[in-house]
Amino acid sequence: MEDTAVAPTAAGRMPRLRPSRRLTTVAAALVVAAIAVVGTQLALGPVVQEYRATAQVVLVPAATTAPEDVPSAWESLYDLRGSKVAAAVLAAPRWVGPAAQAAGVPATALAVTATPVAGTSQINLTATTTDPRAAETALTALVQAATPLTEQLSGPFSLVLAEPATGTGAPTGIPRVTWLAIAGVGGLLLAAAGVALLNRRDRRRAERSPAGHGGGAAPAAVPEEDVVSAGPPQDDAPRDAAADDAPGDAPETGSPSGAGDAPGDAPGPGSPTAADGAPVTAAPTFRPSPRPRAAEPGRTPEPVGGRPLGDGTRVADPAR
């Protein structure tokens, strides 16, 4: 099936794509999308997806604090003095090894952070590793292991787990699957833009063509067998009967009537007579007119004699 572009219609609209053109366009778009996905996969390389678990702990005055010392304890917490100390203790590298061992991951694959929240006694904790459940387990183990020392060094405060890490594991950054999906959609859009540019180029070419300026289709070519050549009749053309039977031709020499047998002449001596003695006049013999010769290319045939008729034949001239 041909896949050529056609000229616009009389209304100036481009015709729809043929089925073969549509299939080619869809196939090209899919190929471009696949190439984009593979290229993105290679660009990302063997990057290991990481997951992060979060937890929140809060410092509160210890239960052993005297009632008269509670207001001053809260003031120190709001000044972030106790929160900063507790955050530094929780983020110490000494807790990473035991937490990674509890989670079943290498210590080099575990990262822990502790950040105090301004204006409050809350501390946000994070644990990042290669597995979401491992990150949750490591963070829970870290809080349990660091709580005694944190309460001892931060002052007369207790560390309370406000939000546990269970169920908080989530991928960090943009997941690989998302990157691949973005690459596939981008490939499809790129292919669609290319097809649109090609269609626009074809439309402009069609508008610049003579058929596009005329607003209609080009005139149809006349078939070769329908072309009638205008010229003199050939040798095999039928002859007009009037050319053979035209009156006025002179009888041939040596006819039985002789020279004195023309109409109006008296019969000569030796002429045949009927039974009653009346002279018998022989029927005149007519000579057929010669056929015209075939016309040479580019040359008008010369008249052989007589006058031409409307259909191209010639009649013997009576005057001859």
Q: Which CATH number is 70's domain given?
A: 3.30.70.1130
- CB atoms < 10 A from the CB of 306, how many? 19
Do 105 and 141 sit in the same domain of this protein? yes
**Domain membership flag for residue 3:** no
pLDDT at 195: 77
For residue 82, the enclosing domain spans 51-171
Q: Which amino acid is at 245?
A: D
Residue 128: band (very low, low, confident or very high) from pLDDT cuts 50, 70, 90 = very high
pLDDT at 48: 72
**Number of structural domains found in the chain:** 2
Q: Are strands 122-129 and 111-116 parallel, antiparallel or unpaired?
A: antiparallel
Tokens for 16, please give them: 């729809």
pLDDT at 270: 53
**Domain membership flag for residue 127:** yes
141-190 pLDDT, tens digit per residue, is: 999 999 999 888 877 788 999 999 999 999 887 777 777 787 778 777 87
- Burial zone of 30 (CB within 10 Å; 0-12 exposed, 13-18 middle, 19+ buried): middle
**Domain membership flag for residue 77:** yes
**Domain membership flag for residue 10:** no
Do 58 and 166 sit in the same domain of this protein? yes
Residue 283: band (very low, low, confident or very high) from pLDDT cuts 50, 70, 90 = low
Domain end marker among 171, 200, 216: 171
Do 151 and 167 sit in the same domain of this protein? yes
Strands (E), 164-224: 170-171
**Domain membership flag for residue 241:** no
Domain end marker among 28, 47, 66: 47
Evaluate if pTM is beyond 0.85: no
- Burial zone of 12 (CB within 10 Å; 0-12 exposed, 13-18 middle, 19+ buried): exposed
Q: Does 203 score more than 70 pLDDT?
A: yes
